[in-house]
Amino acid sequence: MKKKILCLLLFSISSFALIGCGKDSADEPDEKATESSEEYQEVDGYLPKHEYENEYLISTDSEDEVLFSVDEDGNKVNEYKYADITSAMSGAGYKDEYPYIMGVDDGLIYAEIVDYSGNETKRTLVAIDTASGSVTTVLDAPNGVDLSSVDFYNGEIYVDGINSDKNIFYEWGYTKSEDGTYEKDSKATIKIEDYYATKNANGCYFSVARGLDEMGFILVESFYEVGEKFAIYTGNGNIKEIDSLADRTIGIIGYSSDYLVYYEYTYNDDDGDSRTDYYQMDFKTNESIVIDEPDLTNYVGVKNNDFYYIKTQSVDYDVNTYELYSYDLDNCVSSLVQSFDSTPGTGINYGFYYISGGNLYFKNLDGEAIKWYLIDDSKTAVDIDATVKTVNAYKYGYVSYGTAEEVCPNCSTPLYKVYEEYFILDDSYSDYAYLINGTLETIKENALGSSGEVDTSGDNCEWHLEYPDQYCETNETYVDDVNILNDRFLLVNMSGYWYGGGAHGYPGRDQYVFDLTTGEQLRFSDFYKGTEEEFKTLVAEKVKADYISYEDDDYPPYFASSQNELYQQVYDEITLDTNNIQFNEDSVIVYFYPYDLASYADGFMEYEFTYQELFGTDTLTR
């Protein structure tokens, strides 16, 4: 049965997927690939619960513990643990801990592995069987070619790639043999010069072969060196430019057989103002009309002849209500699909909508679990039994927040904004929950009461009004995770971000530790029985050893010019009163902020200790 165009949620390295037509022997991948690992280990297998025609990943977010696949009707087909995927890769000898997941088909995860170790970057597409742990090479990309997307169509695997040096896009077709290896179908090879295939946003990718079969064309975009041009490609090298889209700063959101949805960014050199306008173009006439939705803040994608987008309503600083709308491209009419409020402690926002396999999905919190939901044709949210992860903060209690704002008394421009989340422990976990919660609320109130470092003299009102964002100091703190260790110690991990102007802000992190049997807040010094000199030496030696590990590296992360200089710096700075400690189930992390020892780009420098190293015990005790 011929399938309609479906948005396939497959990982793409670039913003849009890339393709091509014809044959170029110099850039052809290997004809046949072989298996890299046999029967690595037994893991949770591929167990579809019903008959289905196609399998699609909802998302490939590496922060999710589990990846879910669905069929064309939105039913859950299978789940794949990220740990099983990376374990299989490790067993097959690949160094890349987190492969770039590109798709799924018939129980196999397809991923790109990038090897930077040689003179030439090597890119390999592999098929991972999480049931057996085997990893099979599908193709080794030719030198200079980046893989961009994968589509499973009419019994073949279509792989798209780009050679940016030659301005060429390729699409190769592969078939899977009965022995589990992959053979290239030379008749399915497509090559396009000077243009690449523009794919739908939001991870919705389909092959050139599918597009030509089911729509009769695909949309292509020119390489940068060729100019800002878009065109219709109908196969066999036939390209017809769309004159109305030429020489404009355009981003493609998505398209169907009838309409193209895109946005245009414009910047006014005279006053420095910029704006983004959204358009729909009719492929029959190539004429565009404005999508007149002034509160449109973010887009999701195009599904059939509907354009899905988000309107964000601010409730408070960093607190929003998100409204999902469907815009009917035939009738130019919008309708509200659903709305939800941002949930503290989860990080869930408008970015968790995905179109996959022709269906729309979103993440939301249900109790302590973050789940995937299907939005069906009646705009009803359907639980598809796909739990992404557990939010421990809602397992042990819940998360609330507070906000504060300070404005210039002369021009009323906001100069300081703060958003502070705080955890509230459920009474069932401690008789002293009221003490713990009181301490956490006090921490929150102290953060809200701080006025930052703002200038309220009135001398800068002209700048306040002209550059309000740059002159507004912001400070956000989030509940990152909550755990109870050994049924006694409550660990509340916090993360944050402070911005006070300039190119970037500054990250923050903290951990609050409480004894559930007393309600006390504890510090590292409450557990450590050695002297401060012993602690200084332990940490300095650990950091020094890490410095030595970079001896053969051309670009070590540290500012220090020698191991002894770094040792002395760490020894002088670290104390038993440090807050830069994080207790985990089986380790303790000592960390330093960006710029303390290394650059901002290197992030927090972390050093792991066992409980034996620090306390002489196997776990945290008091």
CATH number at 8-390: 2.130.10
User: Across residues 437-451, what is the average pLDDT?
Assistant: 93
- Taking the domains of the chain in order of start, what are their residue ranges? 8-390, 393-522, 526-615
pLDDT tier for residue 454 given thresholds of 50, 70 and 90 = low
User: Across residues 427-452, what is the average pLDDT?
Assistant: 94
pLDDT one-digit tens code per residue, 32-72? 454 443 332 333 444 445 567 889 999 888 778 899 999 99
Q: In CATH, which of 3.90.640, 3.30.420, 2.40.50, 3.40.50 is domain 526-615?
A: 3.90.640
User: Across residues 593-613, what is the average pLDDT?
Assistant: 97
pLDDT of residue 206: 87
Query: How many angstroms separate the CA atoms of 173 and 209, rounded?
Result: 9
pLDDT of residue 350: 66
Within 8 A by CB and 6+ apart from 579, the residues are: 510, 523
pLDDT over 90 for what percent of the chain? 70
- Taking the mean position of all CA atoms in its chain, how far away is CA 52? 29
pLDDT tier for residue 4 given thresholds of 50, 70 and 90 = very low
pLDDT one-digit tens code per residue, 267-315? 877 776 788 999 999 999 999 999 999 888 899 999 989 999 999 999 9
pLDDT one-digit tens code per residue, 217-235? 999 999 988 888 999 999 9
Query: How many angstroms separate the CA atoms of 4 and 461, rounded?
Result: 58
Long-range contacts of 184-187 (CB under 8 A, 24+ apart): 184/28, 184/29, 184/30, 184/31, 184/32, 184/139, 185/156, 186/23
User: Across residues 339-361, what is the average pLDDT?
Assistant: 88
Contact 497, 504 (CB under 8 A): no
Say whether pLDDT at 238 is over 80: yes
Of the listed ranges 167-181, 346-360, 517-531, the least confidently predicted one is 346-360
Sign of the CA dihedral running 294, 300, 306, 312: negative
pLDDT tier for residue 552 given thresholds of 50, 70 and 90 = confident
pLDDT of residue 3: 40
Residue 349 or 170, more confident: 170
Say whether pLDDT at 118 is over 90: no
Within 8 A by CB and 6+ apart from 63, the residues are: none
Sign of the CA dihedral running 91, 97, 100, 103: positive
Say whether pLDDT at 266 is over 80: yes
Residue 46 or 411, more confident: 411
pLDDT tier for residue 592 given thresholds of 50, 70 and 90 = very high
pLDDT of residue 30: 60
pLDDT tier for residue 19 given thresholds of 50, 70 and 90 = very low
In this structure, are strands 414-425 and 473-485 parallel, antiparallel, or unpaired?
A: parallel
pLDDT one-digit tens code per residue, 505-541? 999 999 999 999 999 999 999 999 999 999 999 999 9
Of the listed ranges 10-24, 243-257, 551-565, the least confidently predicted one is 10-24
| Secondary structure, 3-state, 364-403 | EEECCEEEEEEECCCCCEEEEEEEEEECHHHHHEEEEEEE
As its CATH architecture, domain 393-522 has 2-Layer Sandwich (3.30)
Mean pLDDT, the chain, rounded, equals 88
pLDDT of residue 39: 34
Contact 36, 136 (CB under 8 A): yes
pLDDT tier for residue 1 given thresholds of 50, 70 and 90 = very low
**Six-digit token string for 346:** 């989860």
Say whether pLDDT at 31 is over 60: no
pLDDT tier for residue 458 given thresholds of 50, 70 and 90 = low
pLDDT one-digit tens code per residue, 65-99? 899 999 999 999 999 998 999 899 989 988 765 68
